[in-house]
């Protein structure tokens, strides 16, 4: 957490029943709690994968953020959901920390609806643009890696 703290907006944990167990900034967890309700917790636990929701306006920083929700496990059994809120304007720094992609390389992160959450090249232009082409491919997935010439879910 120390290395990426400038990218984090908030971190929170919910139990299996969808009750908030704790948060880095408990005073500002409302925008996360409005999305991470018991139904959302069930969805994350059922998919067993990360679920990305964006954009969300943060009460901590006032910036647009993305929520990354993933199952928390103990002895390989799901016990709840961990949600990390990351500032969208800094997300591309986490995807390509050294900014050393080879010429023509681009990293693009989509949510499950096909909305671009972050892009390493010109992120301000692409964030929140929906790409209809990817929506059908993402219908049953929670994320996708794409590059010129192909996609892999």
pLDDT tens per residue, range 99-144: 777 777 888 877 767 777 777 777 766 665 544 444 444 454 444 4
Write down the pTM of the prediction.
0.70
Q: CB-based burial of residue 12 (10 Å sphere; 0-12 exposed, 13-18 middle, 19+ buried)?
A: buried
Distances (CA, A) of 132 to 84, 112, 113, 142: 27, 12, 9, 16
The three-point CA angle 51-129-111 to 5° equals 10
Which comes out higher in pLDDT, residue 132 or 26?
A: 26
Q: Are 4 and 23 in contact (CB under 8 A)?
A: no
Q: CB-based burial of residue 69 (10 Å sphere; 0-12 exposed, 13-18 middle, 19+ buried)?
A: buried
Q: What is the SS3 assignment for 67?
A: strand
Q: What is the SS3 assignment for 37?
A: coil
Q: Are 15 and 94 in contact (CB under 8 A)?
A: no
Tell me what the pLDDT averaged over the chain comes to.
75
């Amino acid at each position: 957490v120390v290395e990426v703290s400038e990218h984090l907006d908030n971190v929170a944990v919910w139990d299996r029943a969808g009750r908030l167990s704790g948060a880095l900034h408990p005073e500002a967890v409302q925008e996360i709690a409005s999305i991470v309700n018991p139904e959302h917790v069930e969805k994350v636990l059922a998919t067993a994968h990360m679920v990305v929701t964006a954009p969300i306006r943060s009460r901590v920083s006032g910036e647009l953020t993305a929520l990354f929700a993933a199952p928390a496990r103990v002895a390989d059994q799901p016990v709840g959901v961990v949600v990390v809120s990351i500032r969208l304007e800094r997300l591309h720094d986490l995807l390509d920390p050294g900014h050393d992609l080879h010429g023509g390389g681009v990293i693009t992160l989509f949510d499950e609806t096909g909305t671009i959450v972050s892009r390493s090249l010109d992120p301000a232009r692409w964030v929140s643009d929906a790409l209809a082409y990817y929506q059908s491919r993402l219908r049953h997935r929670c994320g996708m890696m794409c590059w010129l010439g192909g996609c892999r879910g």
